[in-house]
Structure 1
Amino acid sequence: MRASTTDADERPLVELAVVAPTPSTSSPSPSPARGLAPPGFSRAVRCNARFSGSASIADGAGPSYPGNAISTTKYTAASFLPKSLFEQFRRVANCFFLVVACVSFSPLAPYRAVSVLLPLVVVVSAAMAKEAVEDWRRKQQDIQVNNRNVEVFDGAQSFHETEWKKLRVGDIVKVKKDEFFPADLLLLSSCHDNGICYVETMNLDGETNLKRKQSLDATVGLSEEHSLHSFKAFIQCEDPNEKLYSFLGTLYYSEQQYPLSPQQILLRGSKLRNTNFIYGAVIFTGHETKVMQNATEPPSKRSSVERRMDKIVYLLFAILLFIASFGSIYFGIKTKAELNAGSYAWYLRPDQSSIFFDPNRASFAAFCHFLTSLMLYVCLVPISLYISIEMVKVLQSTFINQDRHMYCEESDKPARARTSNLNEDLGQVHTVLSDKTGTLTCNSMEFIKCSIAGVAYGDSLTELEISYGGIEEASGYNVHKDSTESKKSVKGFNFTDGRLMNGEWAKECSRDAIEMFFRVLAVCHTTIPVTKKKSIEISYEAESPDEGALVTAAREFGFEFFHRTQTAISVHEYDPVLGRKVDRTYKVLNILEFSSARKRMSVILKTEEGRLFLFCKGADSVILERLSKDNEKPCLTNTKRHIEEYSEAGLRTLALAYRELAEEEYATWNKEYSSAKNSIHTNHDAAVEKASEDIEKDLVLLGATAVEDRLQKGVPDCIHKLAQAGIKIWILTGDKLETAVNIGYSCNLLRKEMETFFVTLDNSGSNTPEGCSQEGSRMAPYEQIDRKLQDARRQSSLKGTSTPFALIIDGSALTYALTGSLKDSFLDLAVDCASVLCCRMSPKQKALITRLVKTKTNKTTLAIGDGANDVGMLQEADIGVGISGAEGMQVGCLCTRHFL
């Protein structure tokens, strides 16, 4: 069975697929031998067996796999001395003084050995002590994480708390709301009857969007009170790997086998949200978990000043060698000449000379003189310079930690220099590589504009419009000055237009369309309402900030969603006839979920009057092609124009549509859809998609929404100043291309005067913006990328250096652009561009790009990120800056050694 990831915000590494074995009608043993595993399935896990005493090591219980403790320190007690000494003696000056110190113990030394050895010991010891202190801080973080508590099933009928580090493969754990998953788990069941739960994966992909996970139907009924104590199952799955969004495995339970997919896997570092608790079986522990598999071995970074110091020391050493060699050669020649002439200086007592200064052995005496000269002139190489610089670095890192301008009030955290090795490089940055979500943006969406029945509403200016001098110049529709002057501040809602607020929409000509538009916003979602204790105010926890903003907007317009069950959704709706809100409950018949492939979401509901409706929202590219031919052309034309204007203003848009269904039509379709959904053949996904296509057609267009992802304070101005300073800026993000481009314009990374090059695969599944060539869609991917890179290089050479260029490329195209002969062509083009925007990037691709840019430019690179998905990028850059105000860096910091 092939299935792509089911959430649009999950980021495939390239085009990840899930291949799981097809369930068999036979009845295999619940604990098959390893030899019976499907090809490639070498890991065997016996669930709930550790406390029963019946499992063997071979069956995957306990000691055959590593424990759950993790270590992210650079050193251990055994390796500290050799590794730290190796780091210190990578410095050429230390090596030189070590050699001199060894020679100083011989009779050749013009002074005592302690005068050279003591400074060397002090310098090396001080540097090693600094390394030890910094590594001890990392150790403390490891201890804190490893000692977190989790509830483990004891094999009887209860759970007991234990530390994360004591977990073993096969254990059954209970994770409660807002807790992190201690290991990679198989979701068995949850507090919900259908076995769903919501997961926040900020530590994995940097997104605060909630991902929906679904347990197998076979385990959905497991609970502490009922059958959990008797639950015995066997799992055969793939070996540990770094692929976050794929999983291959089979569950053997109750004499049946069930294919496993990423939809049932809960990854370490994720957080449980909107769900009271879940039960899960531990599959991967410790360094075998996927988040730790993505943690690459940190490079040992050295600042440019330190590397330059080495060059200076080489120069001084060359001068020293020259002086010592010149003096020794002259000494040897002079000694030999005087000895031959018989006029050797009598006061040197040649008759009592040692073997080191025997005038009869002038060549050997010259060599000994050379060694003595090296020791005598050793002060030419300043060993104190290193210790002085180390002291300055420590003081600088202290100042950074205490800098009030770098203090984050929201998280109540100061800046934290995790290492002081790279301070001086901060002022020498040539290329900045930054994550987008949570770093440039707040990842907090605000509903700001909408288009309903061909009429544009919303007077608020976007950040992009403000930067270009107002909406009148940025768009083609008029601003209504009768909007509400003052309004209460509502998170996720920044809309002002007196025509729609406070029930005024009932006076509009298209009142029915507006009412249906608001109803779609209120019911077409998977959001969960949350009422805080001692408060009547309802907040929403959504799978994505976009969805939360839309539901909040519906509430502000008078359609307040307040309750959800598995089969119904309730809304306080404003009735324009009665002039007040009334409670309406809709029966939820089907939810056709949003995915990156579908780019839309639909719900089929039954009203209290018995009418059936399909409500749909999604990307305009997929909604508009599913409209009925009876849609009014003026409405369709105006809506398209408004969507284009919203996109130019840097907003994220969705189109809304609906369709009323007949009972007979729905009954026939539901049978087909249920059959496709419950099928177990290899074309399962294709069958489900086809069934969805059959009902999502002949839609009536209602309009479009526009939400804005607010930028962090000062981002556009900062990027503008960096560009003026000649610093190249690369944005590496996992978002889709359209969103990334919009944000690029909002934050001044992309500007209208720029020549923009799009390098995408025409069949990659992402919409190519207008103006991007669609030629070559039938060509092989490698040939497509080669052709587009050549075209871009040709255009850039024709327009010269006076025109700034921007390159936009997605992860799928990047996979081919970084192979073979295309790599040099891509890097040559990218390095010449003023701005580069890479979207749909995986963590490994971020790290690879950073490494290549650093190698290609041979100049200082700075990486900025806020989540564990950015750790590889931070490690590869010369300097890594982690934004720890976001909770995602709690795990991300554990995987990083050398960054500020």
Structure 2
Amino acid sequence: MAEEYPSQFGISLFELRELMEVRGQEGLEKVQENGGIQEICRKLNSSPITGLGGSKSELDVRRQVFGANVIPPKPPKTFLMLMWEAIQDVTLIILQVAALVSLILWLVTKYSSSDDHGSEEEDEEHGWIDSVAILVSVVVVVLVTAFNDYTKERQFRGLQSRIEGEHNFSVIRGGEVLQIPVSEIVVGDICQIKYGDLLPADGILIQSNDLKIDESSLTGESDHVKKSEVSDPMVLSGTHVMEGSGKMVVTAVGINSQSGIIFALLGAAAEEEAKPKEKKKDKEARIAMKKADEERGMGGGRQVISNSHAAVRDGRPPPIPEEPEPVREKVDKNQDKSVLQAKLTKLAIQIGYAGTAIAVLTVVVMFVRFSITTYGIKKEVFHVKHARSFVNFIITGITVLVVAVPEGLPLAVTLSLAYSVKKMMKDNNLVRHLDACETMGNATAICSDKTGTLTTNRMTVVQSHICGVQYKYSPKHTELPPQVAELICHSISVNSAYTSRTLPPENPGELPKQVGNKTECALLGFIQNIGKDYMEIRERITEESFTRVYTFNSERKSMSTVIPRPGGGFRLFTKGASEMIMKKCGYMFGKDGKLERFTKEMQDRLVSEVIEPMACDGLRTISVAYRDFVPHKTEENEVQVDGEPNWDDENNIVKELTCLCVVGIEDPVRPEVPDAIKKCQRAGITVRMVTGDNINTARSIAYKCGIVKPGDEFLILEGKEFNQRIRDANGVVQQYLIDKVWPRLRVLARSSPQDKYTLVKGIIDSKVSENREVVAVTGDGTNDGPALKKADVGFAMGIAGTDVAKEASDIILTDDNFSSIVKAVLWGRNVYDSIAKFLQFQLTVNVVAVIVAFTGACVVSMSPLKAVQMLWVNLIMDTLASLALATELPTPDLLLRKPYGRTKPLISRTMMKNILGQAIYQLTVIFCLLFIGAGIMDIDEGTMMVEPSAHMTMIFNTFVMMTLFNEINARKIHGQRNVFKGIFTNPIFYVIWVLTAGSQVVIVQYGGLAFSTAPLSVEQWMWCLVFGVGALIWGQVVTTVPTRKLPKLLSWGRGHPEQFTEGVTIGEDYDPDADKRRSAGQILWIRGLTRLQTQLRVIRAFKSTLEDMEEKRSVHSLHSLHSLRSSRSHPGLRPMSDISYIDEDPTKTPSPAEGQKSGGNQFRGTMGREDHRNVRWTNSEIRPATQSSLSPHRHISRTLIQELPKLVHETSI
């Protein structure tokens, strides 16, 4: 298609892809060969100023010719594929084989013997029914399992689509700046790029300001690469903007971009490895493609890429990746485990061992009894019908195992998490990692930003200090000296991101709409209130005319812009944190606009009389200043220069400024935040504020929020003092010193990202409390990445957060609101409770069913519960009970108790009391019915009858009724007496309960031979219901038993999570073959005889889906390639002293010197979450030695060729 491009484009897809293969000087030369950036835009029918027209037909043509900005995801599994997976369960296979053998033996017996009479004749007549019923039951189990998996996969695909739709990017179309989904970006679009962006496509820079890009995801190089239209204009998808801003024209999207090509290569390699039978055919195709490429003169070093080109040129897209599993860094897997899942897996395995032992014992006892009775006492010889009996014993044993092993546990976890994730989206929590939902239930500390999280992020200038006069309102420009008013308006209008603007209110009576950085919007609103139009100034002074921009970063804490002066020379505008700007000022305007020397005494007076009072009122103070560089000095504050100053010498440029004004910006506390913080404190969660703002501002907001109260003996520190307290004489952070600070610390002001990271790490690593602290952290800036990754749960801001912060997070707050974090805590605790409810219910059924089956086999040579009946019970307690109990809504009571803690028992003493109490009641009833029930009820003894009897049917029906009513008991796990409270808030529960009860009636009355049931009379039904309701009454009796007097041995799962993760593989690093290496018997009888493996694979797939959502959406991520390099990097941390942090100042960017100071080590934020507590860093030693001699694309290709076999091998394992 690329060579058949329509005539309206002057450049082909192939030419664009070749253009993007090079960088640096080579890339600049390539651009010049094509006539320069303006000519490339012209060939793409795009304007660098107004962008594309944006009509639907034009965009459709561009997608047809150059491709769409998506990488098609792997097609979802069909329902038949999911059925095939479900039927692979070894348990079901054994049941089917046993049922078929039994059916064949029945046929052999029926047609080889005609001597049998009486009951045996009837037995042979209906002997096929049991076998067919088991086969039908297996089909039902497979259908239900497949349906559950199908539904869950569709649900998570929908969640993925939601996340894809949430990610927008700024483009210029029709002269207007629009925010569009990244999937709608096309070749020729003019994109505005800024600090924190994850680039969605390949492009060439048109204009840039102090732009630095992190390309480690492509090259492995940790140093930030300086980009500009005059030195290195090539920017690639999947890379991060670490500093500055600019504009680019999009030249490649989707599978044609550099990251798209790599995805295609990885996918093709994985597919080739997975399908060895097709290797020969693929090899022949590659040889043919190679010959074709050689004929076109494209052999050699670009061969791998050429294949992709050839595919496109022939009208066929290159191979779509099969979502290859990234090569994980080999870290301590115990650190990666979800606490709940680790405990559940160990519990399932232990129950599996016990269930296996009982099942084998049941089969052995039935074999021995039958053999003694038949061959010892009756002296019979072996007959084919005896083989049928042996097969039926095996069926009974396998069925006991099916009931005993809780394969519904992983399903319950998945359902509970999936349900919670779906509901949390409505509560403005977009969950990216499933286990984050669970972890929030254990949170004991929250380190929160201030602006936008605790406050409204609706900023307004409410005070100002201009020319020595303090204003409590916005003065009109006529009240100010004309020269000063003009300078203030120009400084704020020009020295702000042009993407920041205020729009008229959408409806009458509403406030103006703020777009972009909220601090800058407040300043622009101040200009409007003065009576000036900032847009008029911006139209006269365009971004293209800027001489130099010193973008905001956490080290500068200011932003500066240099523009040419109309009369010659240059003018520097600066704004930033008042304390920083004041130190750089040498002049200021006094009363009536008179220029004065700004002495140290005047500075101290301004701080004490103006800045500090504003801060104590909770206002953020921003100072605005300027400096003139002129050919001929006429004013005292001007600097005479010959020619152009050295703009790289920032320290000498940004000094001796003239202060224009100081403004106080109000950002009110969100009205719902004080109540949310009270809930956290009542729930045993400590809230700390970590902000970059002035300590007085932070203290004021902390009091208003309720984080601290008057009289509290808590610490409120600045970052500088915090570091002094936690470092020894050599400047090294010491844990014992941190332990003296963090328990009382409530506010950390003027903090840097390093301070934030150090605090989070210190709290997590502390051994001060018995249970390790579980820390949640909020962040919105690129430099917040380390803290977000180190935290147990990282929250990124959905509105104010950068793409880098979002990628490093576990949950995205779509409304940037602290109260949404409280809702996440609520749902996290609800997950624990939902699983506990299901455990309490299922273990009761397990204990009763297994003991009844085993006792019946030992005493009466048969199980009172037939195989089909136990399969029905298994369906009730696994799938249906999972749906019913795992979807309970959270209640406010969840926030009235302390966090569970990581060492809390999985099964508490209260739960064990309920399990054992109900088991005793149910076993007593069933054994009474089994041994003396026939006499009491005046019905025939059913143990000796072949045909279904009312006696055995009553036992089965009573067991199911007690199970159903105990399901209501199981809704409460903390000893509450009112088990019906809130039952109608969960329609799923009562609908499933009613349907199950109705199905039981149908099975009993009309199941007949298929379910081995006989219709019961009304009186018999009443007895069954009485015994069932008795479970509710008995539950009240059990509740009266004081839990505290029970021995702690009755609880299970107490202790540190590491005790449960040893030898248990779960989550993303789950390896099904690990069990085979340990023990073939274990995998056969534990993993094989349950659907645990299948369900865990489902959990892993869904976790992977959530983690890879942003990877698959457009072309932004290179997890696979990045992981190849991460697997060789060291987890050690570099010194972070060069990184600072401010909570929410205009445009956050790292220091320009950051790369040099770090010694070549930079945090790489592109990777998805690998470990809750291990931050990934790139070590300089992995830098390829031959990079200088390779073009970037060739280097990437060579790296891929070297690493692909390893990746494919790891993936296949």
* Normalised-by-shorter TM-score class: 0.5 to 0.7
Contact 2:444–2:686, Cα closer than 8 Å, also in 1? yes
**Which residue is 2:356 aligned to?**
321
Counterpart pick for 2:154 among 133, 149, 166: 133
Contact 2:572–2:627, Cα closer than 8 Å, also in 1? yes
Contact 1:653–1:705, Cα closer than 8 Å, also in 2? yes
**Which residue is 1:40 aligned to?**
none
Contact 2:708–2:746, Cα closer than 8 Å, also in 1? no
**Which residue is 2:586 aligned to?**
628
TM-superposed deviation, 1:725: 0.9
Question: Structure 2: how far apart are the matches of 1:560 and 1:706?
Answer: 21
CA 1:379–1:748 in 2, change beyond 3 Å: closer, same or farther? Answer: same
Answer with 616-625 or 432-441: which moved more: 432-441
**Which residue is 2:619 aligned to?**
651
TM-superposed deviation, 1:705: 1.4
**Is structure 2 residue 606 aligned with structure 1 residue 639?**
yes
TM-superposed deviation, 1:447: 1.1
Contact 1:807–1:836, Cα closer than 8 Å, also in 2? no
**Which residue is 1:525 aligned to?**
495
**Which residue is 2:872 aligned to?**
none
CA 1:722–1:624 in 2, change beyond 3 Å: closer, same or farther? Answer: same
Normalising by the residue count of structure 1, what TM-score does the alignment of the two structures yield? Answer: 0.53
SS in structure 2 of the partner of residue 628 of structure 1: strand
CA 1:645–1:186 in 2, change beyond 3 Å: closer, same or farther? Answer: farther
**Is structure 2 residue 465 aligned with structure 1 residue 451?**
yes
TM-superposed deviation, 1:117: 0.7
**What is the correspondence of 1:825-840 to structure 2 with a 5 Å cutoff?**
825=765, 832=773
Question: Structure 2: how far apart are the matches of 1:119 and 1:323?
Answer: 26
Answer with 119-128 or 75-84: which moved more: 75-84
**Is structure 2 residue 692 aligned with structure 1 residue 692?**
no
TM-superposed deviation, 1:241: 6.3
**Is structure 2 residue 798 aligned with structure 1 residue 866?**
yes
**Is structure 2 residue 632 aligned with structure 1 residue 664?**
yes
More helix by share: 2
SS in structure 2 of the partner of residue 259 of structure 1: coil
Q: Residue type of the partner of 2:646?
A: A
Q: Residue type of the partner of 2:527?
A: A
Q: Percent identity?
A: 13
Question: Structure 1: how far apart are the matches of 2:451 and 2:667?
Answer: 9
SS in structure 1 of the partner of residue 604 of structure 2: helix
Answer with 113-122 or 103-112: which moved more: 103-112
Pick 1 or 2: higher relative contact order, CA cutoff 8 A, min separation 6.
2
**Which residue is 2:738 aligned to?**
792
Answer with 617-626 or 749-758: which moved more: 749-758
TM-superposed deviation, 1:631: 2.8
CA 1:372–1:590 in 2, change beyond 3 Å: closer, same or farther? Answer: closer
**Is structure 2 residue 207 aligned with structure 1 residue 215?**
yes
Counterpart pick for 1:117 among 125, 133, 138: 138
Contact 2:760–2:775, Cα closer than 8 Å, also in 1? no
TM-superposed deviation, 1:121: 0.9
**Is structure 2 residue 811 aligned with structure 1 residue 811?**
no
TM-superposed deviation, 1:628: 3.1
TM-superposed deviation, 1:594: 4.3
Question: Structure 2: how far apart are the matches of 1:189 and 1:331?
Answer: 76
CA 1:553–1:187 in 2, change beyond 3 Å: closer, same or farther? Answer: farther
TM-superposed deviation, 1:445: 2.0
Question: Structure 1: how far apart are the matches of 2:233 and 2:768?
Answer: 40
CA 1:628–1:280 in 2, change beyond 3 Å: closer, same or farther? Answer: same
Question: Structure 2: how far apart are the matches of 1:150 and 1:616?
Answer: 27
TM-superposed deviation, 1:77: 4.4
Q: Residue type of the partner of 2:644?
A: S
Contact 1:250–1:259, Cα closer than 8 Å, also in 2? yes
Contact 1:440–1:711, Cα closer than 8 Å, also in 2? yes
Q: Residue type of the partner of 1:372?
A: T
TM-superposed deviation, 1:865: 4.0
**Which residue is 2:231 aligned to?**
259
Counterpart pick for 1:845 among 786, 789, 796: 786
Deviation digits for residues 628-686 of structure 1, max 9, x if unmatched? 38436664333212323434444322223456777624899575572535xxxxxxx3x
Contact 1:185–1:265, Cα closer than 8 Å, also in 2? no
TM-superposed deviation, 1:451: 3.5
**Is structure 2 residue 721 aligned with structure 1 residue 771?**
yes
**What is the correspondence of 1:549-568 to structure 2 with a 5 Å cutoff?**
549-561=522-534, 563-564=536-537
Question: Structure 2: how far apart are the matches of 1:456 and 1:863?
Answer: 39
Question: Structure 1: how far apart are the matches of 2:679 and 2:359?
Answer: 51
**What is the correspondence of 1:563-578 to structure 2 with a 5 Å cutoff?**
563-564=536-537
Deviation digits for residues 758-795 of structure 1, max 9, x if unmatched? 7xxxxxxxxx645344599999xxx74534x4422244
SS in structure 1 of the partner of residue 396 of structure 2: helix
Question: Structure 2: how far apart are the matches of 1:85 and 1:645?
Answer: 71
SS in structure 1 of the partner of residue 583 of structure 2: helix
TM-superposed deviation, 1:446: 1.4
Counterpart pick for 1:745 among 702, 707, 726: 702
**Is structure 2 residue 519 aligned with structure 1 residue 546?**
yes
Deviation digits for residues 867-887 of structure 1, max 9, x if unmatched? 69688988888x74552799x
**Which residue is 1:156 aligned to?**
none
Unmatched 5+ residue regions in structure 2? 1-21, 46-61, 106-126, 200-204, 210-214, 264-322, 329-335, 588-596, 818-1105, 1114-1167, 1170-1213
Contact 2:557–2:580, Cα closer than 8 Å, also in 1? yes
Unmatched 5+ residue regions in structure 1? 1-19, 33-45, 53-61, 152-172, 191-196, 206-212, 218-236, 252-257, 359-364, 409-414, 459-496, 570-587, 678-684, 759-767, 854-860
Q: Residue type of the partner of 1:260?
A: D
**Which residue is 2:75 aligned to?**
76
CA 1:69–1:613 in 2, change beyond 3 Å: closer, same or farther? Answer: closer
In the alignment of these two chains, the number of paired residues is 658
Counterpart pick for 2:218 among 240, 243, 248: 240
SS in structure 2 of the partner of residue 676 of structure 1: coil
Question: Structure 2: how far apart are the matches of 1:540 and 1:22?
Answer: 41
Deviation digits for residues 432-475 of structure 1, max 9, x if unmatched? 677776555544321122334566543xxxxxxxxxxxxxxxxx
TM-superposed deviation, 1:716: 3.5
Answer with 382-391 or 862-871: which moved more: 382-391
Question: Structure 2: how far apart are the matches of 1:539 and 1:140?
Answer: 32
Question: Structure 2: how far apart are the matches of 1:246 and 1:609?
Answer: 37
**Which residue is 2:577 aligned to?**
619
**What is the correspondence of 1:25-64 to structure 2 with a 5 Å cutoff?**
none
SS in structure 2 of the partner of residue 595 of structure 1: coil
TM-superposed deviation, 1:260: 1.9
SS in structure 1 of the partner of residue 552 of structure 2: coil
**Is structure 2 residue 724 aligned with structure 1 residue 725?**
no
Calculate the aligned-residue CA RMSD, in Å.
7.0
Answer with 128-137 or 388-397: which moved more: 388-397
TM-superposed deviation, 1:556: 1.8
**Which residue is 1:208 aligned to?**
none
TM-superposed deviation, 1:726: 1.5
Question: Structure 2: how far apart are the matches of 1:740 and 1:242?
Answer: 41
**What is the correspondence of 1:174-573 to structure 2 with a 5 Å cutoff?**
177-180=177-180, 199=193, 204=198, 215=207, 240=218, 246-247=224-225, 258-260=230-232, 279-282=249-252, 288=258, 317-330=352-365, 344-346=376-378, 349-352=380-383, 369=393, 372-375=396-399, 378-379=402-403, 440-452=454-466, 456-458=470-472, 497=473, 501=475, 525-526=495-496, 544-561=517-534, 563-564=536-537
TM-superposed deviation, 1:545: 2.4
TM-superposed deviation, 1:550: 1.6
Question: Structure 2: how far apart are the matches of 1:670 and 1:320?
Answer: 90
Q: Residue type of the partner of 1:652?
A: R
Q: Which has the larger radius of gyration?
A: 2
Question: Structure 1: how far apart are the matches of 2:634 and 2:186?
Answer: 35
SS in structure 2 of the partner of residue 372 of structure 1: helix
Q: Residue type of the partner of 1:259?
A: S
Question: Structure 1: how far apart are the matches of 2:141 and 2:524?
Answer: 67
TM-superposed deviation, 1:552: 1.9
